Amino acid sequence: MVLLALLLIAAVSSGASKGSALDIGSLEPQELKDQLGNWTLLDARPGKDWERGHIPGALLFSWEDHIQGNGSEGVYRLPEPEKLALELGRMGISESSPVVVYGDADRSWGGEGWAVWVLSWLGHKGPVRLLDGGIQSWRQRGYPLASGPIREQPPGRHYTTDVRGELNIEAVQLGDRAGHLAVIDTRSTFEWLTGRLPNAVHIPWTEFFEGKERRPIDGMALRRLLREHGVDPDKPVVFYCTAGVRSAYAWMVHTLAGFRTARNYGGGMSDWEAYSGRKAS
């Protein structure tokens, strides 16, 4: 019994230390402008938006280029870590690169949150920062933008993954542990009414940002939002949507607020429906 207890303590400590390795924060536009040469910039918006205007030096990293088309019969799939690592390396990014991610929350559908979550899930060791207020805050301050077609990427680098499995969750785990988790559906009301995960609570992802610049809500607002929906902020949380993008944004806000590590269901409702169908058959 003593040995078992020691093993459990070691496992918990290991998980905690791995979670504490996350270096996620936010950066104001002025700070980024002053430090522009010190960061690798990832633009999480759709490619057409990147072409029309992006922060100088920003690389395109849209979820649409990585999730859509994976799988079949309308089932979205989270790419394998190795595939994402190859793409990041091709873009000149290593696991130690200091990265700033930005989007616009609206047209990117929270893609900036997905990019932050993906880097965290892959085990990124360098600092990851969200540009607070997104591209709209950069524009409103009159800071420079670049435009034009996507050009050849810089020389590739090697990206080494150290996957943090505790940041993602699989359908079978959701089924086994549903009663011990606060499961939050971040989709629209219409999507919620068409079907949901068992025991889920509905909090649309648009509740996780505010203002004209669509900045993430702070810790006090998030705690209030969760409690209003009957969610204990100190209970393990899982966010999900259709394909893990909007829910990743909610995960990012939750993490930025300093709450205990949550999980994003990378497969989302699409994967759950496929899993439920397989289980039933």
pLDDT digits (tens, 9 = 90+) for 100-148: 999 997 888 999 999 999 999 999 999 999 999 999 999 999 999 999 8
In a domain, 88, yes or no: yes
Question: CB atoms < 10 A from the CB of 139, how many?
Answer: 16
How are beta strands 237-240 and 40-43 bridged, if at all? unpaired
Considering the domain architecture, whether residues 206 and 274 belong to the same structural domain is answered as yes
Considering the domain architecture, whether residues 172 and 264 belong to the same structural domain is answered as yes
Token code pair at residue 274: 């496929």
Pick the last residue of a domain from 140, 155, 185: 140
Region class of 262: left (phi > 0), else alpha (psi between -120 and 50), else beta = beta
Considering the domain architecture, whether residues 131 and 176 belong to the same structural domain is answered as no
Considering the domain architecture, whether residues 121 and 206 belong to the same structural domain is answered as no
Helices (H), 123-267: 134-140, 171-177, 189-194, 219-228, 246-256
Model's pTM, two decimal places? 0.89
Considering the domain architecture, whether residues 252 and 193 belong to the same structural domain is answered as yes
In a domain, 154, yes or no: no
Considering the domain architecture, whether residues 133 and 188 belong to the same structural domain is answered as no
CATH assignment of the domain containing 94: 3.40.250.10
Share of the chain above pLDDT 90, in %: 72
Binned at pLDDT 50, 70 and 90, residue 260 comes out as: confident
In a domain, 122, yes or no: yes
Considering the domain architecture, whether residues 41 and 107 belong to the same structural domain is answered as yes
Considering the domain architecture, whether residues 24 and 126 belong to the same structural domain is answered as yes
In a domain, 15, yes or no: no
Match 């849209």 to its residue by tokens.
Answer: 62
Considering the domain architecture, whether residues 177 and 272 belong to the same structural domain is answered as yes
Considering the domain architecture, whether residues 136 and 171 belong to the same structural domain is answered as no
Considering the domain architecture, whether residues 87 and 174 belong to the same structural domain is answered as no
In a domain, 11, yes or no: no
pLDDT tens digits for range 143-163: 999 998 876 666 688 999 999
In a domain, 107, yes or no: yes
Rounded mean pLDDT of 232-248?
A: 93
Considering the domain architecture, whether residues 109 and 184 belong to the same structural domain is answered as no
Distance (Å, whole) CA 182 – CA 198: 11
Pick the last residue of a domain from 75, 105, 140: 140
In a domain, 262, yes or no: yes
Binned at pLDDT 50, 70 and 90, residue 278 comes out as: low
In a domain, 114, yes or no: yes
Average pLDDT, the chain: 87
Q: What is the domain extent for residue 197?
A: 165-280
Number of structural domains in the chain: 2
Pick the last residue of a domain from 125, 140, 155: 140
